[in-house]
Amino acid sequence: LNDEFQYIQHYNPIEHVKSRIKTPESIVKKLKKDGYESNIPNMIRYVNDIAGIRIICSFTSDIYLIADFIRKQNDLRIENIKDYMKQPKESGYQSYHLLVSVPVYLYDKTLYVPVEVQIRTIASLEHKIYYKFEGNAPDYISKDLQECATIVAQLDQRMLSLNEAIQKYSATENE
């Protein structure tokens, strides 16, 4: 999708894409913590973020555009959607999460492996700080991060409004 937007479309809503794959040690640790035996079927069934992709967009409207394109991919299975844009987390964090199953082709079979896709604006960095505390941030830090999340949401909305105004202005100038 990123390549298509970059080379074919007139506008690329994707600013940056970052991906990661959980280490085998991390997968085993998560399975054991949750009381499951460490094997491939349990890994696929119970570890929803074996791989993760974070897509950073310029504007909040781009988040839904990208999510729509991902949902239309015929090689992915959409397992779950969490819209933290419409319903922010308690911390104030806003993002759009898709849990998708991606085909992994082995020599004798195809496995569908869960991948978490997070789509958000660049301004949502307070989330990164919050997770360093694994959900146990001191109250004063949680409060400050919630305030930052509110400011970020306001900034995202203001940037979106400015972008829409610029597009309208450009359209009238080109008539």
Instruction: Per-residue pLDDT tens, the chain, 175 aa: give them.
Output: 777 777 777 778 888 899 999 999 999 999 999 999 999 889 988 998 889 999 998 888 889 999 999 999 999 999 999 999 899 887 777 889 999 999 989 999 998 889 999 999 876 555 555 556 666 777 887 777 777 777 877 887 787 788 778 878 777 777 6
Cα–Cα distances in Å, from 46 out to 7, 116, 124? Answer: 38, 13, 27
pTM score of the predicted model: 0.73
